[in-house]
């Protein structure tokens, strides 16, 4: 998917999960969670030199939403080059040595796998911990950022699973891919935008629910935790996601 679609879908999903707890959470924590999701939603594309994470700009984002996203995106190249040269390349070398296979750098390879984004999240969090310690800044919000970054990466993979190129979730141990039918370059493909609206509307409903009915953040949180994956499952069915044959 395009960079703006990754960001919109991922932030809308995060917003739906966070919305029930918004009245009781520290606003700083909410900002860190959303920022971590934002960076993570683009991080797997650090294996492509023309990716949005290197440009400091979210291509396709328009209007006020685009201005906000592009304002935040100025910090993305720092994360992009760190992931590409200090995480992705070293991990590729390690996997090639462990598996005794020659490794060819490719888009939607290691960084588009569950192992790749999991290790990337851990290593990036380690780098940030070293930097924050050196600056003598507190580390209290780092776990929140790390978890949100990982969630953003996983959402990126789920989103790319809905496209024809698909994702090999178990790469490099398996090349079996899951793929869908969303073609994000055409003007007539409305499914990502429509689903973003659905997620955002659900998040808005979670925010106003306490003012309409007698409920608690815990009850709404459980509803969001169950409803969000169900909505994504429905979206993947609409996108006709299925397992592809080995390539």
Residue 68: the pLDDT is 52
Residue 233 binned pLDDT confidence (cut-offs 50, 70, 90): very high
Residue-wise pLDDT tens digits, 50-95: 888 888 666 555 555 555 555 566 789 999 999 999 999 999 999 8
Q: Could you report the per-residue pLDDT of 188-221, keeping only the tens digit for each?
A: 889 999 999 999 999 999 999 999 999 999 999 9
Per-residue confidence (pLDDT) for residue 70, from 0 to 100: 57
pLDDT tier at 138, thresholds 50, 70, 90: very high
Q: What is the pLDDT of residue 48?
A: 87
Tell me: the pLDDT tens digits for 7-29? 999 999 999 999 999 999 999 99
Q: What is the 3-state secondary structure (H, E, C) of the chain?
A: CCHHHHHHHHHHHHHHHHHHHCCCCCHHHHHHHHHHHHHHCCHHHHHCCCCHHHHCCCCCCCHHHHHHHHHHHHHHHHHHHHHHHHHHHHHHHHHHHHHCCCCCCCCCCHHHCHHHHHHHHHHHHHHHHHHHHHCCCCCCCHHHHHHHHHHHHHHHHHHHHCCCCCECCCCCCCCCCEECCCCCCCCCCCHHHHHHHHHHHHHHHHHHHHHHCCCCHHHHHHHHHHHHHHHHHHHHHHCCCEECCCC
pTM for this structure?
A: 0.92
Mean pLDDT computed over every residue of the chain: 90
pLDDT given for residue 62 in this prediction = 55
Please compute the mean of the pLDDT values over residues 181-194 and round it to a whole number. 84
């Amino acid at each position: 998917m395009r960079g703006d679609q990754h960001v919109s879908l991922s932030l809308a999903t995060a917003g739906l999960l966070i919305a029930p707890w918004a009245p009781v959470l520290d606003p700083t924590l909410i900002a860190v969670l959303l920022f971590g999701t934002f960076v993570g939603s683009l991080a797997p594309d650090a294996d492509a030199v023309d990716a949005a994470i290197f440009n400091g700009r979210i291509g396709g984002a328009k209007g006020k939403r685009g201005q906000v996203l592009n304002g935040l995106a100025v910090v993305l190249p720092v994360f992009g080059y760190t992931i590409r040269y200090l995480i992705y390349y070293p991990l590729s070398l390690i996997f090639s040595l462990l598996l005794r296979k020659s490794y060819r750098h490719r888009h939607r390879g290691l960084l588009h796998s569950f192992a790749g984004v999991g290790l990337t999240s851990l290593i990036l969090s380690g780098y940030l911990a070293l930097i924050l310690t050196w600056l003598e800044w507190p580390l209290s919000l780092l776990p929140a950022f790390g978890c949100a970054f990982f969630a953003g990466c996983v959402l990126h993979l789920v989103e790319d699973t809905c496209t024809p190129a698909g994702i090999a979730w178990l790469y490099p141990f398996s090349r079996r891919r899951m793929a869908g039918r969303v073609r994000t370059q055409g003007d007539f493909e409305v499914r990502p935008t429509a689903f973003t609206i659905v997620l955002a509307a659900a998040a808005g409903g979670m925010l106003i629910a306490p003012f309409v009915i007698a409920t608690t953040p815990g009850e709404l949180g459980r509803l969001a935790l169950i409803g969000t994956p169900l909505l994504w499952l429905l979206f993947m069915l609409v996108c006709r996601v299925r397992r592809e044959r080995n390539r």
